[in-house]
Structure 1
């Protein structure tokens, strides 16, 4: 299990590690989730948490039959480094 949850009320995917939170905000437009912002608590930075968050986010996106449109620079760069998720990226 990827540990990522969908906080529908806040429109973001969340991953808690070490009692701290990383999250990726989203905005749904039809079958596309726009990802404008990814953030990890400073205590989690450099530990791979944001990458695990993106992995879990993409797994949920795929399970739901959706696509993503990354806007956040981190999300764009992460997806470029992980071509296995290319078919979930809008316009690919």
Structure 2
């Protein structure tokens, strides 16, 4: 399973057993604001959300953008993985 960046729709995508998992962002200057994460209900609890968010955040950093978590799932992920927290002191 490979996470792909769909820049035309401002989201990262991962094809899973029951559909498409996504991590949606809004580009604002030098930041990507992650606004929504969705995994098909049948595929929840399998670590898919974490996989797609990790790939999205790593790619965002690789491209030189700041990470701004706005969706609750990404906020929780960044709390557990502070290396992605651009608001740390």
- Structure 1 runs of 4+ aligned residues shifted over 2 Å read 17-20
CA contact (8 A) 1:14 1:22 kept: yes
- 1:12 is aligned to 11
- 1:33-62 Cα offsets, whole Å, 9 max, x none, are 011111111121000000000110011011
Which secondary structure state, in structure 2, belongs to the residue aligned with residue 3 of structure 1?
coil
Say if 1:3 and 1:56, in contact at 8 Å, map to a contact too: no
In structure 2, runs of 5+ residues without a counterpart are none
Match runs of 1:1-92 below 5 Å: 3-18=2-17, 20-86=19-85, 89=86, 91-92=87-88
Q: How many residue pairs align between the two structures? A: 88
Tell me if structure 1 keeps the 8 A contact 2:18–2:42.
no
Name the SS of the counterpart of 1:21 in structure 2.
strand
What's the TM-score once normalised by structure 1's chain length? Answer: 0.86
Gap regions ≥5 residues in structure 1: none
CA RMSD in angstroms comes to 1.5
Aligned-pair CA distance for 1:13: 0.9
